[in-house]
Amino acid sequence: MKLYWIVMCVFLFAGCSTPQHTWPNQNRDVVWTAMVAAAKAPDYNAVDPRKRWIVLDNTVEVNSETGVILVRRKLARSITLPLQVEQTDERQWFFTIQLLPGQRPTATFDTVGQTIVPARVHDEAQRFFKLVNELVGNGVVVRVPANEYAK
């Protein structure tokens, strides 16, 4: 019985954690610029048709002093999978992305006042962090060597 409760506690805490990502070899300003760009220009063109969305509204508030990005987003899609009728969906997001203070640029992704399936939150966070990685890694934003932290 004890094992059951231990497993349940681990499941609850692991499932409800706030997604975060760290860029250990990047300059904070570079990561911040990429985060703002990713929030303002989201990409929902996925290979998987279930993850393709159309952005109907994207309101982004940026506070560079606190390192917080507040995003209100409305998405829609119409999808027809094999052997199924057409399905139309709408989804509204209200989330914050925060660049935490510290030497290593680390960002958290959290929903604001919404009860959402944790898997959806993690999917959206992964989509956001993947876009930031692409912006930082593809030369859209200039890379800074790791030894720059010593200065």
Query: If pLDDT is split at 50, 70 and 90, which confidence band does 80 have?
Result: confident
Query: Do residues 28 and 22 touch, judged by C-beta distance below 8 A?
Result: no
Helix intervals (H) in 16-149: 28-40, 118-137
User: Worst-scoring range by mean pLDDT, 30-39, 75-84, 106-115?
Assistant: 106-115
The domains located in the chain, with CATH, are: 19-150 (3.30.530)
Residue 66's φ and ψ, nearest 5 degrees, are: -95, -10
Q: Give the predicted TM-score (pTM) of the model.
A: 0.75
Q: Return the H-helix or E-strand segment holding 10.
A: helix 2-15
User: Worst-scoring range by mean pLDDT, 3-12, 66-75, 89-98, 125-134?
Assistant: 3-12
Q: Using CA atoms, how far apart are residues 16 and 60, in angstroms rounded to an integer?
A: 25
